[in-house]
């Protein structure tokens, strides 16, 4: 089916831990996706990885054959724009490179391994429209729990923006595999599993109350099965909401049953039965941490998020800016944990972005790089939490191990390096953190670092003396016109100390001019 004006046929493939899924959709220029095909095939990938550390040969063969079939269907639709991603099942496998190469050769598909932060971002995209369309979520604290096979992604929205995210390795399938030996040694396996889960999510009990959670959105975790089991008791069909008392009744029921008894009681296959118990325990545990009266279940998934992201990139929708704003909002929560100076960091964020925007024709970087600068500006002083001396190095080390929504490992490393060079030292090939970057990434780091250094120089006093900066190009000089009614001698001195590095990187000599 060929591309038409205002829309395009796209495909999104999720090579998951317990299923292979592909959705083919007609995506319009405003980001709406109209499904044409939605395919599903169970897989043993996650079970293999979580049990043995490696994906077994038989699972590799089955995966390649299924994906080969997906590719044939894509060719029938003449699809050129597709994206295939894999999550924890392949990501954590010791033989993942062999598996990905087999998939590439035998199915013709390039599968990208994404980290938790990227997976979280795509799920955020999947629920974005659902959240914005539902008035009940506006202005209220909302907890989103995405129960996956390998882990649980927790996100909190409040006052219209993303406030907090965290990934916890207590996924439904992972729990089953790591606790499998204990199931044979106890008559009360559900209580043991619940105790293990509580030990992993206990830290959230002190964090979530401050957000006054009134709404709970659930994703994954066999929610469709859970809803169907609740419907059997009530007779209510076509729902995407589970009342608290309904979940409690199901929880009490499965809590007293073995896997074999769950199969007999509810008519489930073994894979569904094994995942049901940890899923119900997890949802019940998170629901108890909120004031919500039940769980909204929009039934969106990673593949829907992939489509939404592809649409945002292809048609440059408003959703991309909204996503970047929410990423920045979640980064502020990270900064707060490390007691950053919010007034100074906010000022540096605003000033850095102003300089970036006015220099677009000089640095020739795009919106994604602008986001790197924004995050680095917010977190540049985070290392002071460890020690004021060499805080730039400490900032690099802290940022490098954060889990920032939507950032790949490479991108997180870029942000860490930008923050690393905001103060005294400049990028140097003798530094391992810099020399290990590709030549292109070294340029990105240096350009953004020098912008951040200039912004930092203009607030070296932390008194926000400068009201506005205008930049004008005159030949090989860049004139920075500073609007300030205060004495900025210290700022002028600090700016001057960065001028040589600025000219070396940007090719233009920076000069200052003050206006009162």
Which residues, in sequence order, are CB contacts of 252 under 8 Å at separation 6+?
none
Q: Which CATH superfamily groups domain 317-515? A: Hypothetical protein af1432 (1.10.3210.10)
Number of Cβ within a 10 Å radius of residue 88:
27
Task: Judge contact between 361 and 506, C-beta under 8 A.
Answer: no
Determine the straight-line distance between the first and last CA of the chain, rounded to whole angstroms.
62
Please give the order of strands across the beta sheet that includes 294-296. 161-168, 152-158, 141-147, 213-220, 294-296, 241-243
∠ Cα 374 347 507 (to 5°): 60
DSSP conformation letters of 118-147: HHHHHHHHHHHHHHHH-GGGTTSEEEEEEE
Give rounded-to-5 percent helix, strand, coil for the chain: 55, 20, 25
Q: What class is the 117-302 domain?
A: alpha beta
Q: Which fold has domain 7-114?
A: Nucleotidyltransferase; domain 5 (3.30.420)
Instruction: Give the whole-angstrom CA distance, residue 97 versus residue 105.
Output: 12
Domain with CATH 3.30.420.40 in the chain: 7-114
pLDDT 10s per residue in the chain (516 long)?
Answer: 444 457 899 999 999 998 999 999 999 888 788 999 999 999 999 999 989 999 999 999 999 999 999 999 999 999 999 999 999 999 999 999 999 999 999 999 999 999 988 988 898 888 876 666 665 566 678 999 988 888 898 888 887 778 888 888 888 888 878 887 887 788 788 888 889 999 988 888 888 888 889 999 998 868 888 998 887 665 565 578 899 999 999 999 988 888 888 999 999 988 888 889 889 999 999 999 999 999 999 888 899 999 999 988 888 877 788 889 989 988 998 999 999 999 999 999 999 999 999 999 999 999 999 999 999 999 999 999 999 999 999 999 999 999 898 999 999 999 999 999 999 899 999 999 999 999 999 999 999 999 999 999 999 999 999 999 999 999 999 999 999 999 999 999 999 999 999 999 999 999 999 987
DSSP 8-state secondary structure symbol assigned to residue 62:
H
Domain with CATH 1.10.3210.10 in the chain: 317-515
Specify the pLDDT at position 334.
Answer: 92
DSSP conformation letters of 416-476: HHHHHTSSS----TTSHHHHTS-HHHHHHHHHHHHHHHHHHHTTTTSS----EEEEEEETT
Instruction: Give the whole-angstrom CA distance, residue 194 versus residue 256.
Output: 13
The length of the chain, given as a count of residues: 516
Instruction: Enter the tokens of residue 47.
Output: 């079970």
Instruction: Give the whole-angstrom CA distance, residue 509 versus residue 473.
Output: 10
Number of Cβ within a 10 Å radius of residue 516:
8
Domain with CATH 3.30.420.150 in the chain: 117-302
Task: Judge contact between 26 and 308, C-beta under 8 A.
Answer: no
pLDDT tens-digit series, residues 170-194:
888 888 788 878 877 887 888 888 8
């Amino acid at each position: 089916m060929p591309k038409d004006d205002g829309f395009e046929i796209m495909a999104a493939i999720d090579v998951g831990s317990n299923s292979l899924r592909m959705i083919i959709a007609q995506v319009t220029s405003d980001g709406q996706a109209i499904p044409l095909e939605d395919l599903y095939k169970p897989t043993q990938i996650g079970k293999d990885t979580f049990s043995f550390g490696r994906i077994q040969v038989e699972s590799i063969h089955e995966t390649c054959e299924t994906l080969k079939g997906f590719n044939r269907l894509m060719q029938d639709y003449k699809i050129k724009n597709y994206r295939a991603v894999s999550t924890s099942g392949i990501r954590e496998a010791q033989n993942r490179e062999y598996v990905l190469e087999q998939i590439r050769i035998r199915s013709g598909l390039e599968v990208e391994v994404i980290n938790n932060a990227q997976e979280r971002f795509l799920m955020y995209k999947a629920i974005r429209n659902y959240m914005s369309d539902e008035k009940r979520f506006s202005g209220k604290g909302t907890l989103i729990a995405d129960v996956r096979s390998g882990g649980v992604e927790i996100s909190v929205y409040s006052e219209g923006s993303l406030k907090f995210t965290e990934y916890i390795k207590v996924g439904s399938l992972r729990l089953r595999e790591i606790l499998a030996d204990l199931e044979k040694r106890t008559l009360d396996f559900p209580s043991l599993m619940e105790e293990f889960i509580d030990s992993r999510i206990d830290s959230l009990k002190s964090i979530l109350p401050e957000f006054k959670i009134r709404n709970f959105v659930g994703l994954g975790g066999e929610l469709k099965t859970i809803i169907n089991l609740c419907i059997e008791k009530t007779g209510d069909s076509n729902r995407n909401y589970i009342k608290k008392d309904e979940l409690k009744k199901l929880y009490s029921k499965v809590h007293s049953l073995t896997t074999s008894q769950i199969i007999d009681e509810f008519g489930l296959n073994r894979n569904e039965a094994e995942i049901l118990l940890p899923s119900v325990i997890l949802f019940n545990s998170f629901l108890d941490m909120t004031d919500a009266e039940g769980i909204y279940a929009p039934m969106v998934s990673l593949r829907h998020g992939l489509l939404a992201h592809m649409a945002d990139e292809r048609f440059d929708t408003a959703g991309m800016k909204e996503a970047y704003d929410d990423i920045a909002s979640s980064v502020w929560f990270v900064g707060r944990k490390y007691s950053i100076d919010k007034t100074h960091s906010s000022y540096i964020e605003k000033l850095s972005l102003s300089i970036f925007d006015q220099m677009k024709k000089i640095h020739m970087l795009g919106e994604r790089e602008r986001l790197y600068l924004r995050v680095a500006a917010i977190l540049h002083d985070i290392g002071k939490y460890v020690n004021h001396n060499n805080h730039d190095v400490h900032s690099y080390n802290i940022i490098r191990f954060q889990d920032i929504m939507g950032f790949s490992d490479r991108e997180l490393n870029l942000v860490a390096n930008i923050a690393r060079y905001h103060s005294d030292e400049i990028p140097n090939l003798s530094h391992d953190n810099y020399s290990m970057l590709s030549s292109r990434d070294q340029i990105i780091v240096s350009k953004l670092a020098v912008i951040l250094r200039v912004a930092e120089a203009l607030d070296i006093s932390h008194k926000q003396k400068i009201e506005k900066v205008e930049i004008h190009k005159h030949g090989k000089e860049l004139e920075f016109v500073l609007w300030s009614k205060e004495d900025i001698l210290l700022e002028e001195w600090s700016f001057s100390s960065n001028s040589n590095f600025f000219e070396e990187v940007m090719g233009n000599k920076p000069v200052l001019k003050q206006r009162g």
